[in-house]
């Protein structure tokens, strides 16, 4: 709730249309500067219009760290155009025609991590862990047999935590760790994300993308695995700092025999729709898509046999 009166004087007449730069972040930055608004005041104007947007999210948008995802953020972008006195549709046009099916869905973890194939941020964080393996591919000596992810949500539709159990087999003698990557939801404070281990591993080195949403962690085993050895280990990531969650997807670089994803929702904040989806790549439309039931206890489950390569997960719609 905004308690102060935002404008003691009426807004001046709408300024003449300005020619916007082709980049959304630069256009937003120039428009904010032209209106002379701080991000706190801009956020307050948006709240007055019934469109709450976090101040950190506005900062990310104007710096180009992130972009609003359409159609989810359409109301916010339309409100920005109004507050900043821009022609209707001018900011929307700079975001391109991205539908819900093609919008970016951040994978929360990679089954395998390859240098040069995991994105510049992940590559930078991985390089901070030391020299790359000889294969240029983290986790290459572990075959992924089974993954069970459980994602919990709070009453504000935010992700609270992800617990993961992995069953692996060593392809040869030598594996003694697993490297995992986590991408938080939009607006998260990655510095506040915490990782806790259960059986089979302990936390090693950890690197964070300051000001971003990416975390890379080494999970150390208690021994060097002999060849053809089954190893089970568990860990949990706790992070409730993000905004409304669009769902959860795991990226598999190779095939995984069994993947079970479960979501546990707060009973006062059940989703309107849950959809099991599989995509061959991040920006592709789903090749598999099916509605899922959410039981009276607030749990939905998706099972994937021989998942990968690709992204497997559940997309969530709240309203």
The topology (CATH level 3) of 24-94 is 434 Repressor (Amino-terminal Domain) (1.10.260)
Pick the CATH number of 107-317 from 1.10.3470, 1.10.150, 3.40.50, 2.60.40: 2.60.40
Residue ranges of the chain with pLDDT lower than 70? 1-22, 65-66, 70-72, 96-123, 129-137, 283-284
Segments making up each domain of the chain, as ranges: 24-94, 107-317
The pLDDT value recorded for residue 22 is: 62
- Quick: pLDDT tens for 59-78: 878 877 667 876 667 888 88
Q: In the prediction, which pLDDT does 287 show?
A: 82
Predicted local confidence at residue 296, as pLDDT: 82
Strand order across the beta sheet in which 230-238 lies: 194-197, 230-238, 159-170, 142-153, 256-264, 299-307
What is the predicted pLDDT for the residue at 5?
29
d(CA 121, CA 155) in angstroms, rounded, equals 31
Cα separation, 5 vs 93, in Å, equals 32
* Tokens, residue 20: 């916007």
Q: Nearest-CA neighbor of 288 among 101, 97, 70?
A: 101
């Amino acid at each position: 709730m905004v308690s102060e009166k935002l404008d003691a004087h009426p807004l001046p007449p709408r300024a003449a249309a300005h020619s916007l730069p082709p980049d959304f972040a630069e256009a937003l930055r120039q428009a904010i500067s032209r209106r002379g608004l701080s991000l706190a005041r801009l956020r307050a104007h948006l709240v007055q219009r019934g469109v709450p947007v976090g101040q950190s999210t506005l900062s990310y948008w104007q710096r180009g760290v992130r972009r609003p995802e359409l159609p989810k953020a359409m109301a916010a972008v339309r409100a920005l155009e109004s507050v900043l006195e821009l022609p209707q549709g001018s900011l929307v046009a700079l975001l391109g025609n991205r539908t819900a099916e093609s919008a970016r869905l951040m994978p929360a973890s990679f089954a395998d991590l390859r240098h040069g194939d995991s994105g510049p941020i992940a590559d930078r964080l991985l390089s901070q862990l030391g020299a790359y393996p000889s294969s240029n591919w983290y986790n290459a000596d572990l075959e992924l047999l089974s993954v069970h992810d459980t994602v919990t949500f709070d009453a504000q539709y935010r992700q609270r935590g992800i617990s993961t159990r992995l069953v692996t087999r060593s392809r040869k003698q030598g594996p003694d760790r697993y490297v995992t990557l986590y991408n938080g939801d939009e607006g998260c404070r990655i510095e506040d994300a915490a990782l806790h281990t259960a059986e089979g591993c302990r936390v090693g080195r950890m690197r964070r993308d300051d000001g971003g949403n990416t975390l890379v962690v080494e999970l150390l085993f208690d021994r060097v695995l002999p060849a053809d050895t089954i190893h089970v280990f568990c860990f949990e990531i706790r992070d409730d700092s993000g905004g409304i969650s669009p769902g959860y997807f795991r990226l598999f670089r190779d095939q995984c025999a069994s993947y079970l994803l479960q979501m546990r929702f707060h009973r006062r904040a059940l989703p309107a729709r849950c959809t099991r989806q599989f995509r061959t790549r991040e920006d592709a439309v789903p090749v598999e898509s099916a509605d899922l039931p959410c039981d009276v206890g607030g749990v939905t489950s998706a099972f994937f046999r021989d998942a990968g390569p690709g992204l497997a997960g559940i997309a969530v719609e709240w309203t």
